[in-house]
Structure formats: structure tokens, C-alpha cells
Amino acid sequence: MGPQKADLLKKELALFTFKDLLEHYPLRHLDKTKVDKIKELNYNTDYAQVAGKLTYFEVLGERQSKRLVAYLKDDTGEIELVWFQGINWIQKTLETGHLYLVFGKIGSFNGKLQITHPELEPYSAEKAGGKSFLDPIYPSTEKLKARGLNGRAFAKLTYALLQMLSAKDLPENLPEPVIKQYRFISRWEAVCHIHFPSSEEMYQHAVRRIKFEELFFAQVRLGLRRSERHRFSRGFSFEKVGEHFNSFYNNYLPFELTNAQKRVLKEIRKDVGSGRQMNRLLQGDVGSGKTIVALLSMLLATDNRRPEDQQPFQTVLMAPTEILAQQHFNSIENLLKDLPVCVKLLTGSSKGKARKEIVSGCEDGTVHILIGTHAVIEEKVVFKNLGFAVVDEQHKFGVAQRAALWKKNSIPPHVLVMTATPIPRTLALTAYGDLDYSVIDELPPGRQPINTIHRFENKRPMVMDFLREEIAKGRQAYIVYPLIEESSKVDYENLMKGYEEVKSFFPEPKYWISMVHGRQPAEQKETNMQRFVKNDTQIMVSTTVIEVGVNVPNASLMVIESAEKFGLSQLHQLRGRVGRGSEKSFCILLTGSKVSKDARERLNIMCATNDGFKIAEKDLEIRGPGDIEGTRQSGVLNFKLASIIQDKTMVEVAKEIVTTILEEDPDLNMAVNLPVKNHLQTHRAKTVWSKIS
Ligand code: ADP
Ligand code: MG
């Protein structure tokens, strides 16, 4: 290949090496014997392959609307083909009266079926007759196509390359027992058959093997990192369970812990007693009781002292919003009021003398538990001896903020990261696979499922009547407005309009309404929130600032306005604000009359289940892993063939195998001369390591 084309391959598809080319997998394989009849295509057809005579073509329109239109006719009908790009060179390849095989996505324009940007190649009926050809078609780009490198042409390159290579150039890279047990074909076979399969069956074998390889090596990378951390990251050792913990556990714990909570507490206890730094992800559904687990873990820390100077360990709890920090502070301070533990709150609105006192208390060690927003990780906040840090509702914080916590002591404190809503298991195993993780998979007893209903806008008066009835019984209600953009004027106007409207629905003096949103000063937010907490107000009109963590057990009703604008996990998180008391709770999803297909699916899922783990799975299915916060930059999910959605089982299997291997050989020392290690060293080792370290 000449230098210009090679350059284009680098620019367009990031193909630099032979290996890159081998891993540029076909999109699909052309089976020339499978041809659709044009007459049988309809609006529900997704992709089609048709063969016929090109009857006519012409270039229409100017500039943006310039397009090449052609007509293909078989013995059942005629279909339109359209190109908007690459018109010049495609035009040159077309000849009226000739036979073509055409593949593409069926669409429609002005009620007529058409194929836009189809793949097209000369066709001869005899050649296709009988025997099945599985010719690979590769992803390409318009620029490459214009230079003659279309989806078909790649096949010639790959074929030529494979001719130059042999099995010894691609030695086995999976452990032999694994290959045996799962009946994988060899690496060399897989590479050959993924490109040029001898049969559909061999193709499937190749796909299976390559997907597994991708998932396996991702787990090796994550696992190595994890086991390295386990062995080399020195951490404080909390050896004893002392007075704070015991006294609280025996006398002040307001309820019996669920089995899941107990199990997780044991896992944490084991970590913090091991002498290595803990880095643990704690996930559990909304309302599963993560906070109390965090609190008990923090008491473990305050019960222990640094060996050198007998200085007790301090702990910090970081929450994503002021409201939530305040609320954690209120409840924790109250729970610990009879214990000799000093709890303080530090947020952006802690000012002046009060702030100075708290900060110096952290510095001289008199503050034992600091609760706050990201204000707690500011450089000016110095701890005498920070031993344990809890990050609540992880998805609101970035990696950088977590890292800042590490630097708050000479040896990094233990870190417990709690998620706001569950993460699907496969995602936890991949995107967060370098953390250890615990799950609270059980709700406290006596929780009633929340009754969730979807209503259209025009039913608003009835919804309000229902609210009125429930409030008359002594309940409280949230009415939540979407705030997509913190700065969006329209969203705020809607909120204000909504507030006025709610007031007009409840004109009687006995109904009191609070409003909370992000533009209010912190004190005002807090006052309004507290009025609602104390049941001085019955209705809380708010934006999603109440999304995370807020706990008002008497509130049993939630109306979500414009519910179609929210994502699944956000809806679930919002809904989790109700159903926290003994009363039957309701969540009403209000939408306009027009709801997109995706939004409708989200609403249906919300109405069908209360299970956050199921919702998280669905969310992943609908949105794909790329959209889930914090995963894109992790680079762990950039698989070429594997999908953590479709190949869930394989993710599990890979994880299990790698865990077993690393338990026996945490450094992969035994694998030094084995391909596993070689693979790690050569397989873009540099970029991979720089990405994950
Ligand atoms: P989340 O996991 O969403 O942060 P919280 O920690 O806020 O949940 O707990 C939700 C509610 O459940 C709180 O009111 C808490 O006091 C209560 N709770 C937690 N654990 C238990 C338990 N084992 N039994 C009864 N109630 C519990
Ligand atoms: Mg919480």
C-alpha cells in the first residue's frame, strides 16, 4: 500500500499496524445466495440485500440537497437507491442495464421505500448460484471509499496479510485449561475465521473466542491492578472493635441490621483490619440502608489509634449536595449524641469564625467525624490523622475528588464509595472492576412497594385531587420539576409557574407549600427543607436537588412533572424519596401527550418494578454502556466485539477465571514465559498501562 493510503487508514480508522488490521473485524459477511425480493420489503424491514438491474440513475439537487438517485429492478419490483456523499466516484461505478447486488438499511422518503448509502457491487447470477459465499464486508468511511477502500476492498488487504502469516505468528494467548474447558478454537483459527469463515458455524466459534479474549484480558488488567493494590498499598490497620462501635451497636442502633448490612460490615471490617488500604464500592438500592453501614464503619475508625503516637483516627463523610450533607449531619449527630464523639459539618456555606473552628478542629484532631460537601477536600482542610473516608452517592463525584482524599494523610485513608442507585453487575465487574465491591441486596423489613402510575397532563386536576385526599390523611407530597440545565431559564420559569399552579390548587390556608431549588441561597434551601422535614409544610415543590438521599419518612406521595425528560436511574432515585415510612406510597409520573418510544419504555419499566437492580439493567440496555457516567473515560469498556449487555455470562466467566488465576499467581509470575504475560507486554502494553494506571 502506498504511503498516502496508509496515512488515510491511520487518520480515518486508527489502523497503524498489521495487528490493527487483523482486529479490524468485518461488520458482516455477504452471503450472495440470500437475496430478498423487492416486492417483499416493507417499512418494518431493517436491512435488506437485493439483486437486480440498474434501470436509471441521475444526480439531483444543488449543494446540501445534492444527491445521486438510482433505481434497481428485480423481477418483483423496483427500489430507489440514494447517495448524498461520494456522489462523483459512485456515479463512475454505475452502469445502466448492469446487474448489481445491493445491501443496506431500508428507509422511506415521502412514503416511498429507499436504501440510503447502500453497499453495491456487480452481480452475476451464475456466480451466486448454489454455493454460499461468505465474503467479509468491513467498516469503512466515505473518504476511504473515495480512494477505493470500500467495505469489500478491505477484504483483499486482510486476505493478503493472512497469507503472509501462519499459526506461529499468533501463538496461543489463553491458558490451555481454559481453552479445553470452554472448547475455544485456537487464536490463529479464530483470526482466520472471523475474517474468512468456512461456514456460519466457524464464524460463530471465532466470534465467541475473540469476545472471550477481550473480556479475559480486560479482567486480567483490572485484576492485576486490584491484586497489586492489595499487596502493595499500605493502609492503616483498625485492629480492635472498641467502645464507640460497641456502645452504639448495643445501645443506640435504632433497628436490627439486615443480613446484607451485617455481611457488608464484615467485609469492610476485614478490609480495614488487613493493613492494606481499602478501596471499596458499596452499592445498594435506594433506601437499602447504606448510611448506617457507613456510620458503623466510621466508628470502627474512631475506635482505633495510630500506633506511633496513639492519635485516634478521624473520619470524613462527603455528600454531593448541601441538603444531603446537612441531613447526614443532623441524623448522625443525633444518633451519636450520647457518645464521646465530636461530629461537625463543613459546607460551602460554613463561613467566618464557625468555619475556622471546624477547620482547626480537624487539624488538631478534636473533630472526630467531619461531614460535608466537597468543601471537605479543599486543600486548606487538613487533618491530624484521617483514617477513613466515605464518599456518598458516588456518581456525582469525579475520580479527581476521590484522589484528593488519598492525600489527606501520610498513608492514604481507607475509602468507601457508595452509589446512589445500583450498578448492573456486569458494569460493576468491568468499569469498576479495580475496586473491591460489596452489595446490599436486601431492603429493611416492612417496606411496601411504591405504587407507580403514569398519567397524561390532562389528568392533572384528578392527580391534584388525589394529593389533596392523601394530604388530608396527614401525608406529605413532593412535586418535582425537571431541571435539565442548572442555568436554563425555561426550566426555572416552568418551576415557578408550577409553584403558582400548585398554590392555586391548594388555596386553603391549612396547606403549606415549600419550594427548594438550586438557585436559592443555602440557608433558604435548608430552612425550606427543614420546614418540610418537621411537617410544617405538606407539599414540597422542588427541582431534582432533592434527588439524592433526602429522607422524610412521612412523605408518601411524589408527582414527577415532565417525567419523560428524566432518565431511568434518575426517576428511580427520585422515587426513592417516598416509600420510606410505614404508609402506602405513590409515585405519579406526569407527561405531556406526546411521549417518545424510548421515554414510554422508561415509564413502563418504572410502573412495572421497584427493583433498582432490574432498572439499572434496563437502563444499561437502553442507553448502552458508553452513556453511563464515569465509564467512558475508564477505557475498560472499549471492546471491539464483546458487549457487556449481550455477553453478560461471558463477563462473569472471564471474571471468575481471572480471579482464580490471580489468587494462585497474583503477579502472573508463573505466566512470565506463558503467553498471558507476553500478551500483556505486547498488546499495546503502553497505552493500556497508561490508561489504567
Ligand atoms: P440509602 O441506602 O438509600 O442511602 P438510607 O441509609 O438513607 O438508604 O436508609 C433508608 C432508611 O432506612 C433510613 O430511614 C434508615 O434509617 C432506614 N434503615 C436502614 N437500615 C435499616 C434496617 N436494618 N431496618 C430498618 N430501617 C433501616
Ligand atoms: Mg443515601
Summarize the confidence of residues 218-228 as an average pLDDT.
84
Nearest-CA residue for ligand 1 atom 16 is 289
Predicted confidence (pLDDT) at residue 395 exceeds the cutoff of 80: no
Measure the CA–CA gap between 353 and 356, rounded to whole angstroms.
5
What is the CA(139)–ligand 2 centre distance, in A? 45
Residue-level pLDDT at 485 = 57
Strand order in the sheet with 451-456: 451-456, 586-591, 555-560, 476-480, 539-542, 513-516
Question: Confidence class of residue 430 from pLDDT cuts 50, 70 and 90?
Answer: confident
**In this structure, are strands 134-137 and 28-31 parallel, antiparallel, or unpaired?**
antiparallel
**pLDDT tens per residue across span 177-206:** 889 989 999 999 999 999 998 888 999 999
> What is the assigned CATH class of domain 451-623?
alpha beta
Is the Cβ atom of 577 under 6 angstroms away from ligand 1? no
More reliable by pLDDT, 94 or 222: 94
* 407: helix, strand or coil: coil
Q: What does the DSSP 8-state code read for residue 313?
A: P
Q: Is 451-623 the same fold as 243-440? A: yes
Residue-level pLDDT at 575 = 94
Is the Cβ atom of 258 under 6 angstroms away from ligand 1? yes
As to burial, measured by CB atoms within 10 angstroms (0-12 exposed, 13-18 middle, 19+ buried), residue 340 is: exposed
Mean pLDDT score of the chain: 86
Measure the CA–CA gap between 387 and 71, rounded to whole angstroms.
73
* 99: helix, strand or coil: strand
Summarize the confidence of residues 40-48 as an average pLDDT.
83
Q: Where are the domains of the chain?
A: 3-167, 243-440, 451-623
524: left (phi over 0), alpha (psi -120 to 50) or beta: alpha
Beta bridge partners of 560: 480, 589
Q: Which of 219-233, 481-495, 647-661 has the lowest mean pLDDT?
A: 481-495
Measure the CA–CA gap between 103 and 95, rounded to whole angstroms.
17
Residue-level pLDDT at 416 = 94
Which of the following CATH numbers is that of domain 243-440: 3.10.129.10, 3.40.50.980, 3.40.50.300, 3.30.750.210? 3.40.50.300
State the sign of the Cα–Cα–Cα–Cα dihedral 663, 667, 669, 672.
Answer: positive
Summarize the confidence of residues 135-152 as an average pLDDT.
86
* 543: helix, strand or coil: coil
Predicted confidence (pLDDT) at residue 637 exceeds the cutoff of 80: no
Q: Which atom of ligand 1 is nearest to the CA of 576?
A: 3
Helices (H), 397-459: 399-406, 425-430
**pLDDT tens per residue across span 325-357:** 988 999 999 999 999 999 999 998 899 999 999
State the sign of the Cα–Cα–Cα–Cα dihedral 156, 160, 166, 169.
Answer: negative
> What is the assigned CATH class of domain 3-167?
mainly beta
Is the separation of the CB atoms in 338 and 286 below 8 Å?
A: no
Mutate to test the pocket of ligand 1, among 292, 293, 295, 334 (most ligand atoms within 8 A of CB): 292
Residue 483 has which C-alpha cell? 431541571
